[in-house]
Structure 1
Amino acid sequence: MTQYFLTVPHDSAEEPTMESMQEFEPAEFAAVIAAVDTFNAELKESGAFVFAGGLNPPSTAKTVDASSGEPRVLDEPFVEAPSYVGGFWVIEAADDAAAVEWTTKAARALQGRIEVRALQEAPEA
């Protein structure tokens, strides 16, 4: 089966975190968390779940740049962008259609946008 990377975009201007999301209307926030928990349980029960995680915002990033020989540590993301990946799932699905079906469920649970892309597979020798 192919593995797919489902990404949760966030607005760079806001940089939401789990702490800042606590400021949302409590009932709405609880409903989204419950929907994501249900989605995660369904993924796990089906065997499609590989792993998932949330990322801290780009303002916390460090970039290690060794392109000029000696590695340098920069206190910045590698790219400035209006949006960034705030969280992700890695799933296994039989094909693109099945991956899009899971992605649709994730988007509904989060009430937002989710991008899905297949992970590259090693070429056959």
Structure 2
Amino acid sequence: MKFMLIIHMNPDTWAGLDTETQEKVMNGHDAFQAKIRATGEMEGTWALADPGASAVVSQRGGKRTVTDGPYLEAKEFLAGYYVIEADSRDRALEIAAMMPEVEFGGLGIEVREILHYAGPTA
């Protein structure tokens, strides 16, 4: 079973952490990645740019519209994600609990099963 571990970021919460704690979270990903690579459960990880640098593309009546981001006006945003392979939802939750963000309130990890995966084409 594939799962996405979605990292939600609240900039206010992040700014409230001291520099040492912020570095602990960021550096904690190296250890986390090593652990789940060793078990063969890591598929990949992607960190995303700040939503202010995003663009939203829509089309209506054949006319494309591009609006500079962010897409939503919200406190939290999608900061990045991991894709893992786990034997069960319970195992995916265990893996998510190893992530450095879970120690700090307001920096949550959402766990969602991937229902369809096409993978890269040859």
TM-score, normalization by structure 2: 0.77
Note closer, same or farther for the CA distance 1:8–1:29 as it changes in structure 2 (3 Å cut).
same
Residue equivalent to 1:72 = 65
Aligned partner of 1:97 among 90, 96, 101: 90
1:10 aligned onto 2:5: no
Q: Which consecutive unaligned segments of at least 5 residues does structure 2 have? A: 118-122
Determine which of 96, 113, 119 is the counterpart of 1:118.
113
* Letter of the structure 2 residue corresponding to residue 99 of structure 1: A
Structure 1: which 5+ residue stretches go unaligned?
Answer: none
Counting aligned pairs with the same residue, the percent is 23
**1:62 and 1:75 in contact (8 A); partners too:** yes
User: Normalising by the residue count of structure 1, what TM-score does the alignment of the two structures yield?
Assistant: 0.76
User: Residues of 1 paired with 2:72 and 2:21: CA distance?
Assistant: 32
2: CA distance between counterparts of 1:50 and 1:91?
Answer: 5
Q: Which stretches of structure 1, 4 residues or more, deviate above 3 A after TM superposition?
A: 24-27
Q: Which of 30, 48, 53 is the aligned partner of 2:23?
A: 30
Q: Against the structure 1 CA distance between its residues 51 and 28, is the aligned structure 2 distance closer, same or farther, given a 3 Å change threshold? A: same
